[in-house]
Amino acid sequence: MKKFKVFINIEKEEHWLNEQLQKGYRCTNISGLGIYTFEKTDKRYVMRLDYQDYLSKKKFEEYKGIYEDFGWDYIKGYWLSGIRYWQKENDDQNEIFSDRQSKGNYYKRIMGYSFWLGMMFLAYSFMYYRDSTLYHEGLWSMENALFWKAFIFETPFVLLKLFPVFMVVLLAGSYYKAYRKYSILKEE
């Protein structure tokens, strides 16, 4: 079974993947385009996601070995950086973060990811919108039915132009949520 889904929030993605596991579908592959491949299973699995910055090959192998020593199967992830997908049969040791400090470091990495990706979209927005208007300049001089037809026709293109701004807002929200959880862990 294949499903298409796009996530901004890593925790929502993990929650959704675990819901699929509860329905009896084990994840076997995740494409970079948001296509998830599942297979039916009778076993109970749990899935955890981790975000890692750049790891050298040696560090990546050490990172992978530590999790595999605890029974986790590596499903997907990109060697240079990104989200790492881990899955194993459900038992009493279902968390990949053993203490508050490692969980805090996880939220710190998520904050960095959200910040830098948001900055890239923000920089792109400034470069793109500097010399551009949202609607075609001639639109505002049109009258009656012609105006409304042109307005309706151009609106989807305007929404596409605004996509980077929407992404900045979503990533700012992701940063804030990770910051709040990091702060709570630090205070306790």
**76 sits in which H/E element:** strand 73-76
Phi and psi angles of residue 114, each rounded to the nearest 5 degrees, phi first: -65, -40
Q: Which residue has the higher pLDDT, 172 or 52?
A: 172
Q: How far from the centroid of its chain's Cα atoms is residue 157's Cα?
A: 25
Residues 80, 125 within the same domain: no
Q: What is the pLDDT of residues 59-117, one digit of tens each?
A: 888 988 988 988 898 888 766 568 888 898 888 777 888 778 888 888 898 898 889 88
Q: Where are the alpha helices (DSSP H) in 40-188?
A: 57-69, 100-129, 144-161, 163-187
Report whether pLDDT(133) > 80: no
| 35 and 75 belong to one structural domain | yes
Residue 15 domain boundaries = 2-89
Tokens for 72, please give them.
Answer: 């986790």
Of the residues 31, 55, 89, which one is the last residue of a structural domain?
Answer: 89
User: Average pLDDT for residues 34-57, to the nearest whole number?
Assistant: 87
- What pLDDT is recorded for position 40? 92
Neighbouring-strand partners of residue 86:
48, 74
What is the distance in angstroms between the CA of the first residue and the CA of the last residue of the chain?
43
Q: Is 95 part of any domain?
A: no
